[in-house]
Structure 1
């Protein structure tokens, strides 16, 4: 009488073991969803941006998602900051804001709060086994935040996340912008233009400072040098004759030696600058000079450092 009871007990104990055996093809390696993301290139750098040429600092880049698993994948591409705060930085100073746009699906995927914010209307990407899809992204930096030259970057992780925010795969990407040292100059005050050249009327030549309000305007990403040359080596000449009047020049309070090429160094502190430097003409001896129009050609150029 004990043997049937023992047999039935053993059979009942064995049933759950058979019920837990995996179904064919279920939960085995290679059957799950597995995404590989290939970013080209891995550094999304806006190259050679000049903050004074009026162009928008932007660049377009691509990512190819490949399903290397045997199951269908449904996911949303999500960018996450590797290390807050948000913004492109070179380690000091105010970071540069940016926008990251999915051009393929027309979506803003900028990780402003540390990660891409999902939208209720956002569609998930579906990839079958061994299928792939390439998405185009545009990185746009905020030109109003550009205050210095150099390379500004931020590390992010691009992940393919399912509906439960579980990562199915991804890649690390460096976002950035390379800002060129750049400078521009212009004039403000009493001058006219002729054939693209500025013409300054010094009035009747008398010894001393000519009463001409004139400023050299300099816009620069940082430190800069001014190079000044005089066609007549510091002399106002009467036409092509040998009659001349000596004069000297000062820019921003710095005397300029006009007998040869002269370089004036601007302020040494970094950061975006917009300087207004007074220009003074100091007329020398005018005695016993023939009447007429005396002139010289001065060339001023600026080089950013």
Structure 2
């Protein structure tokens, strides 16, 4: 769970091994060509992806093909969907698209139509008796398809297929991405920045709503909570003196009790969202107060659920 804080200074996811069947015109090898595929790990999961980060959701994984027979084997690594449709899913909503890349041989092996499509230029992998070779694959998820948090997966089978598309062996793999609950906040409107703080000028203090156009912008993978605290417990203070002007705060139409921490719950919609919540300052009694600049420091934190 990620937490983002804003400070306001207010002045405001084995196939059985088979003997390689002879291709037309090829010599008979019998059961001498046996391939075992070892995927480590068996779940290729892109861990901890934050949709509000600039990082690309990707992961690199390895598979070792071992020829346990006594004859040379020639094959192509092929991914097949265990169950369409194509895409990483958690059972509901639109699946997340992805790409599978064979980094070792620079091939796109994504099973977009249910299985890897062989390219005319694709070379077959050759393994002699008792030989092995490790290939690296990269899984890349489409960030534009990420609309909510959760774990999205798809089961696939990686097979070593000969020239006639017959399986010589393989293994099952789970592809997936773990999307973190995440939220970010920011401001829009009348404020300036000073020492990392957003400074809001409320102008001349008068009882009532301060005429300051200000919005809290919230980007979230779904539901979220806003926590608000005031350094002076809801009072604007004149320097380090004991002179105060009481005030209250409302965010998105929800009144905030500044005498202690107050939590405001955002929408319960489970999809990626971007909210613009108006912020209002309601100034209390200003009579018989010493002249000067009154201020308070407000901390607003967002927690994704």
| TM-score of the alignment, normalized to the shorter chain, above 0.5 | yes
Contact 2:15–2:171 (CA<8 Å) still a contact in 1?
A: no
User: d(CA) in 1 for partners of 2:3 and 2:276?
Assistant: 108
TM, length-normalised to structure 2: 0.90
Q: CA deviation at 1:269?
A: 1.6
User: d(CA) in 2 for partners of 1:238 and 1:270?
Assistant: 44
User: d(CA) in 1 for partners of 2:295 and 2:4?
Assistant: 127
User: d(CA) in 2 for partners of 1:5 and 1:251?
Assistant: 15
Contact 1:249–1:256 (CA<8 Å) still a contact in 2?
A: yes
| CA spacing shift, 1:27–1:6, aligned 2, 3 Å | farther
| CA spacing shift, 1:81–1:16, aligned 2, 3 Å | closer
Gapped runs of 5+ residues in structure 2? none
TM, length-normalised to structure 1: 0.90
Q: After superposition, give the CA deviation of every residue in 1:82-125 in whole Å (9 maximum; x if it has no partner).
A: 00000000000010000000000001000001100000000000
| CA spacing shift, 1:214–1:67, aligned 2, 3 Å | same
| CA spacing shift, 1:5–1:24, aligned 2, 3 Å | farther
Which stretch of the first structure deviates more once superposed, 3-12 or 87-96?
3-12
Q: After superposition, give the CA deviation of every residue in 1:72-91 in whole Å (9 maximum; x if it has no partner).
A: 11000000000000000000
SS at match of 1:45: strand
Q: CA deviation at 1:34?
A: 1.1
User: d(CA) in 2 for partners of 1:172 and 1:273?
Assistant: 35
Alignment: residue pair count: 305
Contact 2:223–2:304 (CA<8 Å) still a contact in 1?
A: yes
User: d(CA) in 2 for partners of 1:217 and 1:249?
Assistant: 16
SS at match of 2:277: strand
SS at match of 2:201: coil
Q: CA deviation at 1:18?
A: 29
Which stretch of the first structure deviates more once superposed, 226-235 or 25-34?
25-34
Q: After superposition, give the CA deviation of every residue in 1:31-54 in whole Å (9 maximum; x if it has no partner).
A: 431110000000000001111111
Q: CA deviation at 1:128?
A: 1.0
Contact 1:25–1:31 (CA<8 Å) still a contact in 2?
A: no
Alignment of 1:222-237 (within 5 A): 222-237=222-237
Contact 2:95–2:145 (CA<8 Å) still a contact in 1?
A: yes
Alignment of 1:143-292 (within 5 A): 143-292=143-292
Which stretch of the first structure deviates more once superposed, 65-74 or 37-46?
65-74
User: d(CA) in 1 for partners of 2:184 and 2:103?
Assistant: 34
| CA spacing shift, 1:4–1:253, aligned 2, 3 Å | closer
| CA spacing shift, 1:179–1:23, aligned 2, 3 Å | closer
User: d(CA) in 2 for partners of 1:70 and 1:291?
Assistant: 95
User: d(CA) in 1 for partners of 2:40 and 2:300?
Assistant: 44
Q: Which has the larger radius of gyration?
A: 1
SS at match of 1:282: strand
Gapped runs of 5+ residues in structure 1? none
CA RMSD of aligned residues (A): 21.6
User: d(CA) in 1 for partners of 2:213 and 2:303?
Assistant: 25
SS at match of 1:144: helix
Contact 1:42–1:173 (CA<8 Å) still a contact in 2?
A: yes
Q: CA deviation at 1:10?
A: 112
Q: CA deviation at 1:135?
A: 0.2
| CA spacing shift, 1:38–1:291, aligned 2, 3 Å | same
The higher relative CO (CA closer than 8 Å, separation ≥ 6) is in 2
SS at match of 2:5: helix
Contact 2:13–2:43 (CA<8 Å) still a contact in 1?
A: no
